[in-house]
Every structure is written in structure tokens, then in C-alpha cells.
Chain A
Amino acid sequence: MIKTMWWKFLGVFLVLYSIIAGLLIDVPALPVIHQTIRNLFYHVPMWFSMFFMLGTSLVFSVRYLSGFRMKDDLIASGAANTGLFMGSLGLLTGMIWARFTWGDFWTNDPQLNGAAVSMMAYLAYVVLRGSIDESAMRARISAVYNIFAFMLLVIFLGVLPRLADSSLHPGKGGNTSTMEGLDPLMRMVFYPAAIGWILIAFWLLQLHNRRRALVQGVKLNNQ
């Protein structure tokens, strides 16, 4: 059990550490955001794990296109679903924070709009899958679309917010109040938090896919 599950325990341990240490450490006093800088430990890992899930989805879509195994299609769509789940948590937590920092749930900011557009691209992936009945055709078309959706994600979340110099979002554009000069003590909590949540996301993905494999009678050979 320890042999196959150690990374799940590691993920739980790292997240527990980040929850406790994230509340207890002293954080730099910054204007406007004040103590909400601690959200870095909880909100940002959601997006990190979303990126890893959608990256996994892309890898398995490409694998599907190179071998046409249904197993790869199942993992790719499961990873897209888990990625959307983590992204929704990221959006919700970000909106709450924005309400009390910028005064509104949504502001017209390149980072926020980029996140919304790329989430839409993946919602379209889910809709596309739902609209095709024939399973081999669904797998092929959605795998091709998935490559396109990941490109959109990289452009809208990775490139455009960095090019825009007007983003309000901490760590982006002209606003470098966190990430770049991030306090070393905060790094000691932030990196474990990110790794921990990524591991938890992979755990959720594995459970999700194993359940669906059982229902659909697809064999995932690694278990």
C-alpha cells in the first residue's frame, strides 16, 4: 500500500503543512492586500493544479491520437474534468478575494479575462464530447480539439497577462507586489502548498478515472 500510495500521503502532508504554516507565519505588511496575501498559499495552488491536470489531458489526447486506445481517451477527458474543477475553485476563491481587495467580484483585467476565456475553451471541450454519440469519433475529435484548447490556455493565461502591463493581479504585468520579490519565508510555504495540491489533484484524477473505467469496462493497466 505504501509503495503505491506514498505520493498521496505526501500530498496530504504538504497541504496540511501549508494550511497550518500559511496561517501562522509572519507575512510582509503590504498596502491594500494586507493579510489576504496568505491567499497565495490557497488560491494559487488551485491554478497550478489546474495547469497540471490540463497538461495531463493534453499528453493523453496526443497519446490517443497516436494509438487510438480508449484508455487514453478516458484519462484525457477525466483530466480535463478535474482541471475544470480545480479551475472553478481558483475562479471562486479569486472572486471572493477580488471583492474585498478591488471592491468587485470581477474586474476587467487581462489575467481574469484570460482565465475566463480558457475555462470557456475547456467547457466547450466538455460540450463537444457530450454532443457526439459514437465513442471512437468522440475520442478523436475531442482529442484534436483538446490540443487547440491547451494552446488557448497557454496564450490566455501564460502569455497575454504578462505582455499586458496593466494587470492589477499580484505578480502579473506592472504589479510585482508578490511573486517576483516573494518573501523567502512565504516561499517555504508556497512551494510545498503548490506541490501538495498538485498531488491531491492527481489523486482526485486517479479516483475519477478508476470509477469511470469500472463503469465503462475500460482497463487501466496501472492498477
Chain B
Amino acid sequence: MESDKFFVVAIVMAIIFTGLAVYLFLLDRKLSRIEKKQSEMMEELKRKEQE
């Protein structure tokens, strides 16, 4: 196991996957922010319509 250096490949693949996961996480947070903004805008519109 030591000599075939499988662990090097394992580390490389783990880094790539972690990178993708971090990207997904940031995308998730960005979406949450936009969702919040949109629902605030909707509420404001409703309030203006009632006035």
C-alpha cells in the first residue's frame, strides 16, 4: 500500500471534491440572500398596494 502511493491520488481527489463542495456552499448562501431580498421586496410591494 505504501509503495503504490494511492494516498497521493486520494488527497488530490479529496481536494477537488472539497473545492466543488465549497462552491456549492457559497452558491447556497448567495441564493439564501437573494431569496431574503426578494421576499422583502414582495412585502414592500404588498404594503404599497394597501396604502
- Within 8 Å by CB of A20, from B14, B24, B38, lies B14
Q: Which residues of B contact A24 (CB under 8 A)?
A: 1, 6-7, 10
Q: Mark A80-120, 1 if CB is under 8 A from B, else 0.
A: 00000000000000000000000000000000000000000
Q: Is the CB of B13 within 8 A of A8?
A: no
How many residues does chain B have at the interface if contact means C-beta atoms less than 8 Å apart?
Answer: 20
Q: Which residues of B contact A26 (CB under 8 A)?
A: 1
- Within 8 Å by CB of B32, from A16, A20, A223, lies A223
A214 to B32, CA, bound (A): 10
Q: Is the CB of B21 within 8 A of A12?
A: yes
Query: Which residue of the partner chain A has the closest CB to B27?
Result: A207
Task: Tally inter-chain residue pairs, CB-CB below 8 A.
Answer: 45
Task: Name A residues whose Cβ lies closer than 8 Å to a Cβ of B.
Answer: 5, 8, 12, 15-16, 19-20, 23-24, 26, 203-204, 207, 210-211, 214, 223
- Within 8 Å by CB of B35, from A8, A20, A214, lies A214
Taking the closest CB of chain B, its distance from the CB of A29, in whole angstroms, is: 14
Q: Which residues of B contact A211 (CB under 8 A)?
A: 31
A23 to B9, CA, bound (A): 8
- Given the interface pairs A24-B1, A24-B7, A223-B32, the reply to whether A16 lies near B24 with Cβ below 8 Å is no
Enumerate 10 A-B pairs (CB-CB under 8 Å) in ascending A order: A5-B28, A8-B25, A20-B11, A20-B13, A24-B1, A24-B7, A210-B31, A210-B35, A214-B35, A223-B32
